[in-house]
Every structure is written in C-alpha cells, then in structure tokens.
Amino acid sequence: MSIENDRPAPPVTSTSIVVLTLARRVETELNAALAPLDLTVSRLGLLAHIAGVPGVSFSDLARMSGITVQTAHTAVKALVSAGLVRDHNARAGSASTIEITPQGTRLLQAAKQAADEVDDRMFGPDADPIQRQIADAIRAAFAGEIAP
C-alpha cells in the first residue's frame, strides 16, 4: 500500500486479464441495471442491432451478435412475443425482415438511460481514477467510430 492512496497496488498481470475482469464487472453492473426492464446485456445487444439495421435478416443479426442463426431465431421469437420487434415474412423458407416496434424503441431508450447511469458510476467523475483513464483511452481509441 502506498501512502498516496488507500488501495494496494495491483499485481503485475496481463492486460487481457485486467480487461476481462473489468468487462465482467461492467456486465454485472449493467445486467443489474437492466433487470428491472426485463433485459439482459445480450438481449439489449440484439434489440440495439435490430434498431440499428431495420429489416435485418437472421443471418446478419447472428453475424453481428456473434451467435448462431438458430440462437438468433430463438431470441427474436422471444422479442416478438414480448412485443419488442416484428418479424415480417415469418414463415419457413422465406427471408425474414426484422424491425423494432414502438414498444421496443421505448425500452431501448430506457435501457440507454440505465447504461448511462452505469457508465457514470463506473467511469464518471466520482469513479476510480484508473477506471476513468481506461474510459478515456477507450473513447479516444474509438473516436469517430462510435455514435455519441
């Protein structure tokens, strides 16, 4: 422990492990914030992809989400049942076009607010200085590639 701050120095470790550890903490916090909305990080990701690419196909949705087409079908079926998305042409053998519903758009906006609150807690002005540095580095690395 140093006299300058109250936390012990981190052990020397791999960058990959540090990033994964922080990612798991962020995912845990975000899942907790999304739970009252009946969302998970994965479900939010699918909804955001569908909103971002109206008319997306199952193949493209699976590719963007890093899941199988079968998993995409199952997940979209649940989103359709919840009234969050529509699946046009939802019949065997025909191409589907998936789009978000007004209810899904409202839920996505509420989820963005929850994510903003997690961002502020974990990376905002009152967060751990190292986590703020990480957030600044991530934003700088992706400047121009991520919409505000």
Q: How confident is the model at residue 127 (pLDDT cuts 50, 70, 90)?
A: very high
In this prediction, residue 145 carries a pLDDT of 64
Domain boundaries, the chain: 44-124
128 pLDDT above the threshold of 90? yes
Q: Token pair 């193949």 is at which residue?
A: 59
Percent of the chain exceeding pLDDT 70 equals: 86
Report the pLDDT averaged over residues 86-102: 76
In this prediction, residue 5 carries a pLDDT of 61
Q: How confident is the model at residue 93 (pLDDT cuts 50, 70, 90)?
A: low
Q: Which alpha helices (H) appear in 8-68, and where do they start and end? A: 15-34, 41-52, 58-65
pLDDT digits (tens, 9 = 90+) for 76-92: 999 999 999 998 765 55
2 pLDDT above the threshold of 60? no
Alpha-carbon distance of 18 to 11, in angstroms, equals: 10
48 pLDDT above the threshold of 80? yes
Of 76, 77, 82, 127, residue with least CA distance to 106: 82
* Other beta carbons within 10 Å of 118: 19
The highest-level CATH class for domain 44-124 is: mainly alpha
